[in-house]
Amino acid sequence: MISMNLKQIDRDIVELKDEYMQLQHNLEKLETVGGNLNPLEKRLADIEEELSNLNQEKDRLLRAE
């Protein structure tokens, strides 16, 4: 069960990192054309928090093994 949770956490981390990279790229494009950056900046901050939580959960599960 624990290893399954770790695998899911790892998948979630990879997905969030991919989304983060795409959003950063989009943010750079919007900056050059003067677009509204607030929604992207908010989502980037949300992803950072989600990644932090997932990494904490992963560490907790690794210590429990």
> How many CB atoms are closer than 10 A to CB 20?
17
Residue 1 has pLDDT above 60, yes or no: no
Q: What is the value of pTM for the model shown?
A: 0.89
> How many CB atoms are closer than 10 A to CB 38?
8
Take residue 44 and report the two structure tokens written for it.
């980037």
The predicted-structure confidence for 29-62, as pLDDT tens digits, reads as follows 999 999 899 999 999 999 999 999 999 999 999 9
The predicted-structure confidence for 16-35, as pLDDT tens digits, reads as follows 999 999 999 999 999 999 98
Distance CA 10, CA 16 (A): 10
Contacts of 5 (CB under 8 A, 6+ apart): 57, 61
